[in-house]
Amino acid sequence: MTTLETFEKYVIPNYTRYPVTLVRGEDSWVWDEDGKRYLDFFPGWGCNMLGHCPKYVVEAVREQVGKLIHIPNSWYSQEQGEWARLLSERSFGGKCFFCNSGTEANEAAIKLARMYGNERKRYKIVTFYNGFHGRTMGSVAATAQPKYQQGLGPLLPGFIYAEYGNLDEVKKIVENDDEIVSIMLEPIQGEGGVNVPSREFLTGLRELCDKNDILLHFDEVQTGCGRTGEWFAYQLFGVTPDLMTLAKTICGGITGGALVTRQEFAPYLKPGMHAATFGGNPIAAAAGIATIRQIEEHNLLENAKRNFELFKKRFLELKEKTDVVTDVRGCGAMVGMELNINGTSIVQKCMENGLLINCTHGTVIRLLPSITLTEAQINEGCDIICDAVMNA
Ligand SMILES: *Cc1c(COP(=O)(O)O)cnc(C)c1O
């Protein structure tokens, strides 16, 4: 039986998959089972922020797996404590709860907000259209996109949706409703099309939250841990959240998630009221620590910043040459190129020519490349993309 036939028979078909089986990866390269090599500008759907099999992470996990694989959270582990310290020191000095995925981190934040709201008789959370927060029932209710909610009702109540970037609308919602406990958003929308908000929008939300005793929650599952060229995207805007959720990028491709809260909000998650059995396990923690070390020792935040300028230059040149490209946006290793056509055929064409990319929201070519990418790799990949767009 081929791999595709095995899937056909034994794997639930809830994903649309390319008919390609990947077998090996190294840095920004990945190979399929026929030995074809691809340059990967979307490694691990944003999880492999240091490329495939990053050296520090591989070494740390190899060592950890022979020492201690898993212990429950009824004991202390050196690795989890150290990982929390590193994340806290690079963000706002808060406290961490560890879990295994983005949606789980958001569930923890939703629970914390509800706990915070109890004594204030509030429970509602404002989220934004085209946001993405995950697939479990709380996070999917927070995700204001009908296509992800269809057929799942009744959804968890208590979410109010607003237009991303529209501060006046949020102000009106808060003025007319004294049950709002939290405002939850991505500081840059990823899945929604790489939408970078204005500084005024985020600053305005911060002021609104301060004035009305509302928690500000940034979902940095996609933008966190160096993706944008800062440790966390909120640092780009100078707007510090009360709660921050992390996953995808934080463990070099190993499964892991985290909720980081300001010190004063941490006690709202009390013993017994929330848990994740695998959360913060020694393997994930060792990988998380190694990820931060690799970024620092190789100056990769600087590299992510420089790389964005290289991508932007190439894509703005392309925009000059064709009407198909209508906008180029993003930050660090998070690049969006809006087209006036559906991008699916571009993705297909690039794959045929040995480059893996993504298209989101129908018309936005999205790249979440490794922050280790070199100028030569950027040019090689951009040649393929430009060729595909020019011949679209
Ligand atoms: C991917 C993503 C999630 C969900 O993460 P999972 O690990 O798939 O549960 C949540 N929020 C954002 C911003 C994401 O990009």
Q: What is the pLDDT of residues 125-143, one digit of tens each?
A: 999 999 999 999 999 999 9
> How many CB atoms sit inside 10 A of residue 210's CB?
11
* Strand partners for 246: 258
> How many CB atoms sit inside 10 A of residue 59's CB?
13
Q: How far is the CA of 129 from the centre of ligand 1 (A)?
A: 15
Average pLDDT over residues 287-298: 98
Q: Are 74 and 237 in contact (CB under 8 A)?
A: no
Q: List all residues whose CB is within 6 A of at least one atom of ligand 1.
A: 101-103, 132-134, 186, 190-191, 219, 221-222, 247-248
Q: What is the rounded CA–CA span in Å between residue 42 and residue 48?
A: 8
Q: What is the pLDDT of residues 35-45, one digit of tens each?
A: 999 999 999 99
Q: How far is the CA of 141 from the centre of ligand 1 (A)?
A: 14
Phi-psi region of 342 (alpha: psi -120 to 50; beta: other; left: phi over 0): beta
pLDDT of residue 161: 98
Q: What is the rounded CA–CA span in Å between residue 215 and residue 182?
A: 4
> Which among 75, 157, 250, 59 is positioned nearest to 67, based on CA atoms?
59
The band of 192, judged by pLDDT with boundaries at 50, 70 and 90, is very high
Q: What is the rounded CA–CA span in Å between residue 192 and residue 163?
A: 12
Rounding to the nearest 10 degrees, give the CA dihedral for residues 208, 213, 218, 219: -130
Q: What is the pLDDT of residues 44-95, one digit of tens each?
A: 999 999 999 999 999 999 999 999 999 999 999 999 999 999 999 999 999 9
Q: How far is the CA of 47 from the centre of ligand 1 (A)?
A: 10
CA-proximal residue: ligand 1, atom 15 (nearest): 222
- Distances from the Cα of 185 to the Cαs of 161, 210, 221, 336, in angstroms? 11, 16, 11, 19
Helix (H) or strand (E) holding 111: helix 102-118
- Chain Cα centroid distance, residue 316: 25
